[in-house]
Amino acid sequence: MEGGAELLFYVNGRKVIEKNVDPETMLLPYLRKKFRLTGTKYGCGGGGCGACTVMISRYNPITKKIRHYPANACLTPICSLYGAAITTVEGIGSSKTRIHPVQERIAKCHGTQCGFCTPGMVMSMYTLLRNHPEPTLSQLNDALGGNLCRCTGYRPIIDACKTFCKTSGCCQSKENGVCCLDQGINGLPEFEEGNETSLKLFSEEEFLPLDPTQELIFPPELMTMAEKKTQKTRIFGSDRMTWISPVTLKELLEAKVKYPQAPVVMGNTSVGPDMKFKGIFHPVIISPDRIEELSVVNYTDNGLTIGAAVSLAEMKDILANVTRKLPEEKTQMYHALLKHLGTLAGPQIRNMASLGGHIVSRHPDSDLNPLLAVGNCTLNLLSKEGKRQIPLNEQFLRKCPSADLKPEEILISVNIPYSKKWEFVSAFRQAQRQQNALAIVNSGMRVCFGKGDGIIRELSIAYGGVGPTTILAKNSCQKLIGRPWNEEMLDAACRLILDEVSLPGSAPGGKVEFKRTLIISFLFKFYLEVSQILKEMDPVHYPSLASKYESALEDLHSRHYWSTLKYQNADLKQLSQDPIGHPIMHLSGIKHATGEAIYCDDMPVVDRELFLTFVTSSRARAKIVSIDLSEALSLPGVVDILTGEHLPGITTNFGFLTDTEQLLSTDEVSCVGQLICAVIADSEVQARRAAQRVKIVYRDLEPLILTIEEAIQNKSFFEPERKLEYGNVDEAFKMVDQILEGEIHMGGQEHFYMETQSMLVVPKGEDQEIDVYVSTQFPKYIQDITAAVLKVAANKVMCHVKRVGGAFGGKVTKTGVLAAITAFAASKHGRPVRCILERGEDILITGGRHPYLGKYKVGFMNDGRILALDMEHYNNAGAFLDESLFVIEMGLLKLENAYKFPNLRCRGWACRTNLPSNTALRGFGFPQAGLITEACITEVAAKCGLPPEKVRTVNMYKEIDQTPYKQEINAKNLIQCWKECMATSSYTLRKAAVEKFNSENYWKKKGLAMVPLKFPVGVGSVAAGQAAALVHIYLDGSVLVTHGGIEMGQGVHTKMIQVVSRELKMPLSSIHLRGTSTETIPNTNPSGGSVVADLNGLAVKDACQTLLKRLEPIISKNPRGTWKDWAQAAFNESISLSATGYFRGYESNINWETGEGHPFEYFVYGAACSEVEIDCLTGAHKNIRTDIVMDVGYSINPALDIGQIEGAFIQGMGLYTIEELNYSPQGVLYTRGPNQYKIPAICDIPTELHISLLPPSENSNTLYSSKGLGESGIFLGCSVFFAIHDAISAARQERGLPGPLKLNSPLTPEKIRMACEDKFTKMIPRDEPGSYVPWSIPI
């Protein structure tokens, strides 16, 4: 077997033949670097986000069918693609040729914001349409289950895809036989006819039809190749690794004899991530290619035999088929497997991963192994010695040598027996997110009664996620055989199993008490399921379940999504071509969808380019004893390694950052992830390999401070303390009826922008000029810090930003440090340097939203009126100040949300801890401060015995009022939003319906909550609000505009072009915008704070008005002329056709000595009402419906504005429910990617979502009286938090549990389950604090 085979496959219809293949090459870098097909994006590198989705097509010579499936290019080794056809986003359509209907619709339905996830979405959707040209809604939701988006909140993406479904626009769930589109049903008011409101952001009539005949054909050459069976084993090798692809079973067995330790890889979804993230290296990999015997599907008399190479997606189809054909009693096992196959990973992974690989990997949290183990499945093995069969049992799962495959054996197929009469099988799992998330605990359970007497003959129960392997409760099951199926048996079973499946307090993965509870909660569900079936089969002998208990059996219902949007049509007095107020598509929408939009890392390689990667601290607080670079420097391709010695005395003390943080640490580290050195090499692979060889010796220092509580104990704060006082708090406490004290803790949040930190620095070669291309929100800061590090004037450093793939506040401070070091490397070597962080590095280095601790003491009257409020805010700032003090200040200024507290005192501290510095994140302190206030109000309501919305109403601002910092406020629109939200959500009706539901269901509870919003908008000083623009008119009448704002998905460039179009009365098509650069607009402010379009728009408007004033005489001479005529005439008369525009900033000031000022220009008002359903046994929750009403002034572009509101709402919902950061007791972050950290996916969005914008009322001095909406919507996500709170309260009340319920954020399944205390939570063993070291600590 000699190496050097040829690799042949097709990419977008082009034939590719590779001679010297490196087996370690994945498809993603191959497509991006070799073919410059940069539409396929890098998002996480682990198959968890879907940004790199491509379509793979293969021809099967036996069935004569072509299989199209989606795959994650980041995990697909190119060696596995022999004979396949790859289709990327560029291959289905482009703006140069013609765009594909999927691309057109996702763009025109406003399904793109930053656009970085869009090519992956497009390819997932495209693959679905290749297989099902008229998909159902559930196929659609499944198809997008493996793709994450951080900007849009998914609703517009679903809307775009729905246009391909058979019945578009309808939720397909005819409740009571009535379609939801017959308005008035479902508590939705009739919409007024007429032109005041509009309900569609796009018109479906104009879309290109889907024409399946126009798709790329499968290359005939690959068909002929597959039909010819003359191939032999292919071997690809590099100096590190050999890849062997046998094509017959005989060759496979021979390879396994020769390399017994080599893993057999099919989809690379298990070996791939292990090699990438765990550093496990395999010198030889065996990857069978289309060996028929491994793909068999045999229907035998006693069951089904499925080949080991069958993918999980194909297995799902096979089982779905079998369950349709066979009687139900035979298919119990198959139904259970199907249930788990529906939620296991995402469609990309399911199509790549094989059944055999899944079984043999034996992951402790495998979803299928517990089921297969209880189902008496057997494994068919083969080696040169011959065949044998082994049971898939506990010994096999524990990898006992006697029960495992021998090194030279290979798994051929799996036998899954039919179930018998009186045999029942069930599957259970609970994860942090309903889909595409590893289970926290999962289980397979099977019972067999032999006959209808209800006596247990066989019982088998297996659990995943509760130990190092899948665990079977063998002894417990043995002891229960012969017992009748009744409550006593259940009680005994719970105790036996808790005893047998024991979990130590320090178990990896944490959540120990939750896991113990799930173990027996699942058992109870199984008991109920079986009891109910027995009852149906033999109503005489079996007692019926209490009707209140039946709810435990139903899965949380998920109807198909539908949504309504209501916004104002543009002003009728407007000119017909004036675009302001119209839902104009995002300027780059089509380019996002075709993959033609260029992000930082998509820029072509520059000549002699180097790659830089960082070495970061692995200790949270330590002295650096020594750094040994020798081994790293000796590796091939390594050019240099920078340490702190190269960058003397430069700190990050610039402008708004007062803290001095060394760029590269030399003597001490104060958090894990702190930058220590930078490795520069010829390629990314070489740089990363070298970085792993840098040897650093540490000596740990005391004390290690991680939590806010530890910081308070050690008085570890950043100066100064901030304080806001209004009225006389101490006097007021003497006048009130009741006083209560409480506290709430809120976890942090990762930005999870889809495009990781990216930069490319190009030295120009003369005059020390240097160009920095970077994904940032703040080009001026990059320019300043780079100039300081290079010791040159700022006029030599130019920073350019075309677009940013999501930022949310995370591309400001840290980006500057990374760019400055990269620029230093480029300048030192006189060569371009690129630096692109991997997802795990990015999450670790950049920090996120501040965890908060809020303490309150509140004095109130019995009618719910709050007269006195004394609060303390603490945020976990991390090791360096960054923007933490500013976050505390904004939190204090906004903490009262929508309420007037006549006497208020609040103090705030930023805690210095040994965590990576936290920084700005959308909402900037308000989502934390607002939650503390709302939690306080909810507790006051409970104490007064009043509904929370009553207490909210009675404390709300009246129309003309004064804030705690004595700024005038008119809250008329706040009250209107609140009332309108009450009405559109049919609050009172649904509150009654929820109460009725809760009284009838013991194990499921619904909750309903409504939260108001007052979000002040302003940046704290006049200087921070200045903006500039530059507008050129060329002689052909076209316009080039540029301004200081950064396009990061919010559509600011689109709005700027709308402004120019209105001001110059010129069609949008004549106006162009190239990007943001310090070369055209100097001294810009950061893009953030919800004001980017506002401030820059006023500057653009100013420039346009300057031009119009100059051209007035020319236009009045020829009023009917075109812009081309006017421009030429102006040129002939020597009138300048270029103007700068400037806006000096809104009045804004705050004096912290007196606590008075006018820090904000205006307030965004809104209200949200959310309804959820929770499962009290597992902690799962389902978002049923959300109604949002917002006051947005006069919307410049309702499509973009609604996109901001929903995107922020879903991001906020994630913050308050499922996004959880885990740190070890040593301060090491565990959650470093989408596999551990769950942002909302398509399964999390509310089944019904209704958004309406208030009709505009007052004119203001903002841009066309609009309001900035970037951040305010985040807070509305807490309506889901309080709805869950309401549901838990209902459960606790019914169980007679004592009052006030303390719930911290995020409300994860763990917190929900443990708050719904019941006999199962009482039964579990609990560990004494201090008797063990927990896996993670709450931060």
Task: Give the CA distances from residue 12 to residues 7, 51, 56, 597, 735, in Å, rounded to whole numbers and listed in that order.
Answer: 16, 18, 10, 19, 76
> Among residues 1173, 1175, 994, 1000, which one has the least CA distance to residue 524?
1175
As a whole number of angstroms, the distance between CA 579 and CA 568 comes to 14
Note the helical H segments in 1026-1069: 1052-1064
Contact 156, 1203 (CB under 8 A): yes
- Can you tell me the distance from the alpha carbon of 263 to that of 248, in angstroms, rounded to the nearest whole number? 17
Amino acid at 658: T
Judge whether 692 and 686 are in contact, CB under 8 Å. Answer: no
Query: Tell me, what DSSP letter sits at residue 330?
Result: G
Hey, what amino acid is at 1305? S
Reduced to 3 states (helix: H, G, I; strand: E, B; else coil), residue 887 is helix
Amino acid at the residue 310:
V
Please, what sign has the CA dihedral across residues 1191, 1197, 1199, 1203? negative
Position 878, amino acid: G
The residues, ordered by sequence, that sit 6+ positions from 1330 with a Cβ below 8 Å of its Cβ are: none
Under DSSP, the state recorded for 958 is -
The overall longest dimension of the chain from CA atoms, in Å, is 104
How many CB atoms sit inside 10 A of residue 413's CB? 25
* Tokens (6 digits) for 114: 């930053």
Yes or no: say if 1148 and 1279 are a contact pair by the CB < 8 Å rule: no
CB burial string 983-1004: b at 16+ within 10 A, e below = ebbbbeebbeebeebbeebbbb
Task: Determine whether 1271 is an active site residue.
Answer: yes
The residues pairing with 611 across neighbouring beta strands, listed in sequence order, are: 681, 834
Distance CA(387)–CA(380), nearest Å, equals: 7
Which tokens in the block code for residue 1276? 């509305």
Strands 610-616 and 833-836, bridge-based pairing = parallel
Q: Is the previous residue joined to 1113 through a cis bond, with omega within 30 degrees of 0?
A: no
Question: Which DSSP string corresponds to 559-586?
Answer: PPPEEEEEEEPPPTTS-TT--TTS-PPP
CA distances, 332 to each of 312, 323, 328 (Å): 18, 9, 7
The phi-psi region of residue 524 (left if phi > 0; otherwise alpha if psi is between -120 and 50; otherwise beta) is: alpha
Q: Which residues of 435-463 are buried (b: 16+ CB within 10 A; e: fewer)?
A: bbbbbbbbbbbbbbbeeeebebeebbbbb
Catalytic residue among 1271, 1310, 1317, 1328: 1271
Question: What token pair was written down for 938?
Answer: 């909810």
Q: What is the DSSP string of 218-240?
A: PPHHHHHHHH------EEEE-SS
Place of tokens 């105790």: 495
Nearest Cα to 687, choosing from 642, 648, 645, 754?
642
Helices (H) and strands (E) in the chain, counts: 39, 47
Local structure of residue 261 (DSSP, 8 states): T
Give the distance, in angstroms, between the CA of residue 637 and the centroid of all CA atoms in the same chain. Answer: 36
Name 69's bridge partners: 56
Cα–Cα distance between 519 and 881 in angstroms, integer? 44
552 with 475: CB under 8 angstroms? no
Active site positions, annotated = 1271
